[in-house]
Amino acid sequence: MRPVAQATAAACLLVALSGPAPPAQAQVASHACIVGLGMVNQQVWWTGGSNGKYLMNFTGGSPVLGNAGIGQTASFEGTAVYTTPAGVLLLYTDGDSIFNGQTHALIGTGVGGDPSASEAALIVPSPSGVPTNDFYVFGNSSNAGIPGPIRYTLASISGNAIGTIATLDGGRLFGESLAVVPAANGTDFWILSVTNASPTVNAYLVGPAGVNNTPVASPVPALPAGTTANRGTIVYHPPTRQLAIGFFSQGTATGYIHTATFDEATGQVSAFALQATGDLGYGVAFSPDASKLYYSVGTEGWSGTLTQKDLGTSAVTGIATGSWAMPRLAPDGRVYVVEFNATTMGVVNAPDNPAASVGWNPTGVALPPGARAAYSLVNQTYAPCSVNVPPPAAGVPIPFLGPVPLVLLALMLGVAGLAARRRR
C-alpha cells in the first residue's frame, strides 16, 4: 500500500472508530488530505489595489503586513497565491502577471485575467509536475457586463517561465467567479466557474493529462428567464463539502447567493439552496464552522452593508453599514472585509458567533504605508495529499493502523455481531 493511500485509510478508520462515516466517498480528500479548512496553502496573502499591493502573513497567527520589494500591478480586485504548508510563499498572481514568491521577480505575463474581476486569478499545482515547482495559473477575463473566457498556462518556478497560454472550454463565456476544489483522489483538482448565460456551475478536472475541457455541468435551479451571472464568487468549505455561490445578474438586476453540495469524486453540484437575493452577489464567505454566511448588500455586493446570515435560524443581520466589498475567511479563523481604496481593513473576530457578538472591528488591520485595499481579496487554493500529508519516514508506523486500533476495531465488530445474533 502506498503511503498516501495508507494515510487515507487511516483517516477513514479514525472516522469509523470515533463517529459516523463520511456520507460519500467524495469526502475522503476533505478528511484525509485537507488540513483544517484547507488554508495551509494560502498562509501569505498578496492583495491590494492599483500598485498599492501588500502581503499579509498569517504563519504566526494574526497577520503581519508589509509591502517592501513585492510585485506591483495595476489590477484592483482578485488575486491568488500559493504557499507551502510551512507558509513559504512560492507564487502569486493577479490572473495576468505571475511573480516568484521568494524573489518577487516577474515570471511571466499575458494570461488575461481582468484587473476588475472579483476572482481574476487562481493557482493550482500541476498533478503531472513537481507540486512545489509546477503550477497551473488561471486568469478570468470577465468584467461585470462583459463576460469573458478563462485562460490558463503552466508556470515553472525553477525555470522562471510560463508556457503557452490556452483558453478553457473553447472560449466559453463566464462570470467573474473562479474557484478550485480538491478531487477525491488526493492528487487532482476541479476548476469551477459559473457560465454567464443560463448560469451553470461548470467543473473542469485538472489531472496528470492536463486540463479536461469537457465540464461537469450543474445548472443553478429556479432562476428567472434572462438571468445572467456577472460579478460573483465561489468558495468551498472542505469539512462539509459545501459551496457558497454568489453572483449578480445584470440581465435581471438581481443578485443571488446559494449554498450547495459538491461531490469531489464526480464534480457534480447538488442540493442548491437559495440563501439570499437582492442587491448582492459580488462576494460571500463561510464562517469557520459553516454555520454563518457573510456578504455585502448594496451596489451588486461590492459596496454596501456587511451582512451575516445564520444558516441554522435563517436570521439575517446587518453588521456594518458603509462601502464594504469582499469578505474572506482567513487562516486565523477570522473574516476580513475590505472597502476599496481604504487604508484599513475590517475584521470579524468571532465569525461563528451570532451577529451581536462577532467582535466586529471596522479598522481592525492597518495597511502598510502606501498600500490601499482592493475590492476583493485572495482566492482559495489547495495542494495534493503528497504535500499537505507527506508520507512518514521509513520505519515510522502509520497513525491509526497499528495493532491497538485494529484490535479495537475487531472488538467493535465482534460486539456488533454478538448483538445482532441476540436480536435474532
Q: Provide the pLDDT for residue 412.
A: 34
pLDDT tens for 372-398 read 999 999 999 999 988 887 665 554 343
On whether the CB atoms of residues 284 and 233 are closer than 8 A, the answer is yes
Residue 406 has pLDDT above 90, yes or no: no
pLDDT band at 102 (very low <50, low <70, confident <90, very high): very high
Residues contacting residue 410 through CB under 8 Å, at least 6 positions apart: none
Q: Provide the pLDDT for residue 272.
A: 98
**Other C-beta atoms within 10 Å of 234: how many?**
27
Which CATH code is given to the segment(s) 34-388? 2.120.10.30
Q: Provide the pLDDT for residue 394.
A: 53
More confident residue, 388 or 218: 218
pTM for the complete prediction?
A: 0.87
- What mean pLDDT do residues 3-26 have? 29
**AA identity, residue 228:** T
Share of the chain above pLDDT 90, in %: 81
Share of the chain above pLDDT 70, in %: 84
Residues contacting residue 18 through CB under 8 Å, at least 6 positions apart: none
Q: Provide the pLDDT for residue 389.
A: 74
On whether the CB atoms of residues 202 and 169 are closer than 8 A, the answer is yes
Residues contacting residue 327 through CB under 8 Å, at least 6 positions apart: 283, 284, 285, 294, 295, 296, 306, 335, 336, 337, 348, 377
- What mean pLDDT do residues 145-160 have? 96
Average pLDDT taken over every residue of the chain: 87
Q: Provide the pLDDT for residue 231.
A: 97
Q: Where are the domains of the chain?
A: 34-388
pLDDT band at 25 (very low <50, low <70, confident <90, very high): very low
Residue 20 has pLDDT above 50, yes or no: no
Residue 403 has pLDDT above 70, yes or no: no
Strand (E) or helix (H) holding 321: strand 316-329
Q: Are strands 150-156 and 134-140 parallel, antiparallel or unpaired?
A: antiparallel
Residues contacting residue 50 through CB under 8 Å, at least 6 positions apart: 74, 75, 76, 372
pLDDT band at 138 (very low <50, low <70, confident <90, very high): very high
